[in-house]
Structure 1
């Protein structure tokens, strides 16, 4: 019964920032479960190659796959996502706001106004644009699933990344606010908080074995988290049985290390 309720044939999933890593894993998870998928990545040569590769992989499952390039923090990009998705698939039933930011490590004293606005736009404003674009269609259809990819520094704060932590905190408030009003239309809105996930990072941290080892040692499971584990949680949150789960946070952080 559970596997049947994780079948998404006839539905469309959109994932921003899905040319690699967590976003790619989510696209392929849903394609494997029968959903048509909309892939989004920034409009650079490298990002285009990655996005097209994800489309090729998704299409192997016999589903429709569409690539729309552009920054998800740009209103025009989100409008193109809406227009092209609806032209191809009718409407978007589910989306994951996942577009990632570049690595940032600056104290308050070194953080500029440009940094502040860039990171709030990348995470918080991008998610607002997506909601304004796709919620009306979900409301009309009487069903929808929205997932915001968040992070633990929304609660802990971060002296070395104040704009990012602030945008994530605002994002959770957006999640709760949307959930409180959209539940009556069969639409759920939730946050996923990944811990240290084994991904390719532009900063080169993907090659840092010591960092992986240190991260794994801080978790109860004693290993880093895979993108596929995050993707499966997205599938659960989009399933029929998750209809009462809304306005909440699912932590995929490997659990805390036991005190000794």
Structure 2
């Protein structure tokens, strides 16, 4: 991939204080992209991500807030637009994955998941798509998940939200393709935490590749989807899972 191919572009990456979100933010920065870093609570982690982005020579803005809260999303997106004018690359990575039997769930449990993963993606797309349309260029990268697409055991709102994200992504891909905008979903498999020093043997047993993925494996795919080279890839779900079947 061409060095600094994203120079002049600005990305918003939700949930980018650690793990997959951080890896994506750093990879985009390495390609020359300005990055808006977001997290819901751990400001220190987000500031660390921003510092590492700046170390690459790219610009970074930290915009803290909960993607489940409409007032937070409005504030975050307004701050990003006020600072940079438009967002060219939207990465909706923020998610919650609580486990609870379906019959024990409350309304709050349900909305706590759906409002982050699905409604949050809707709100950010609504905020940033006008600028993409004006510029005739844009990238939307959403997230599903292998277990969510199979049917998450004791995680009904996770599966419902991620299937909804997949539907939203397909709809956006068809409506905005004429404007030079792509929309795709990445569905990660078993990815180990960025702080882990070794794979979990119990988990690798089900992976044909024989090893767990790392956040950088997801970041590489996200980076490709964000570049001009991916202009003909839209409306797709790309599984990054070492060969496990969904």
Q: Report the TM-score, using the length of structure 2 for normalisation.
A: 0.94
User: For residues 147 and 77 of structure 1, what CA distance do their matches in structure 2 show?
Assistant: 21
User: For residues 27 and 194 of structure 2, what CA distance do their matches in structure 1 show?
Assistant: 19
Equivalence for 1:169: 163
User: For residues 108 and 159 of structure 1, what CA distance do their matches in structure 2 show?
Assistant: 9
User: For residues 18 and 102 of structure 2, what CA distance do their matches in structure 1 show?
Assistant: 30
User: 1:105-120, aligned counterparts within 5 Å?
Assistant: 105-120=99-114
Matched, 1:152 2:146: yes
Equivalence for 1:22: 20
User: For residues 255 and 110 of structure 1, what CA distance do their matches in structure 2 show?
Assistant: 34
User: For residues 11 and 153 of structure 1, what CA distance do their matches in structure 2 show?
Assistant: 33
Equivalence for 1:246: 234
Alpha carbons 1:153, 1:168 under 8 Å: kept: no
Alpha carbons 1:120, 1:164 under 8 Å: kept: yes
User: 1:109-258, aligned counterparts within 5 Å?
Assistant: 109-199=103-193, 212-256=200-244
Give the C-alpha shift of residue 114 in structure 1.
1.7
Q: Report the TM-score, using the length of structure 1 for normalisation.
A: 0.89
Unaligned runs of 5+ in 2: none
User: For residues 124 and 237 of structure 2, what CA distance do their matches in structure 1 show?
Assistant: 19
Give the C-alpha shift of residue 91 in structure 1.
1.2
Equivalence for 1:3: 2
Local SS of the residue matching 2:20: helix
Give the C-alpha shift of residue 200 in structure 1.
5.8
Q: Which digits, 9 at most, give the CA deviation of each residue in 1:109-158, with x for residues without a partner?
A: 22222211211111110000011100111001100000001112343222
Q: CA RMSD in A?
A: 1.8
Number of aligned residue pairs: 245
User: For residues 175 and 34 of structure 1, what CA distance do their matches in structure 2 show?
Assistant: 26
User: For residues 149 and 30 of structure 2, what CA distance do their matches in structure 1 show?
Assistant: 34
Q: Which digits, 9 at most, give the CA deviation of each residue in 1:25-65, with x for residues without a partner?
A: 011001111100000011x3xx0110111111100111110
Alpha carbons 1:108, 1:159 under 8 Å: kept: no
Matched, 1:48 2:43: yes
Give the C-alpha shift of residue 256 in structure 1.
3.0
Alpha carbons 2:194, 2:214 under 8 Å: kept: no
Equivalence for 1:97: 92
User: For residues 244 and 190 of structure 2, what CA distance do their matches in structure 1 show?
Assistant: 12
Local SS of the residue matching 1:191: strand
User: For residues 51 and 14 of structure 2, what CA distance do their matches in structure 1 show?
Assistant: 17
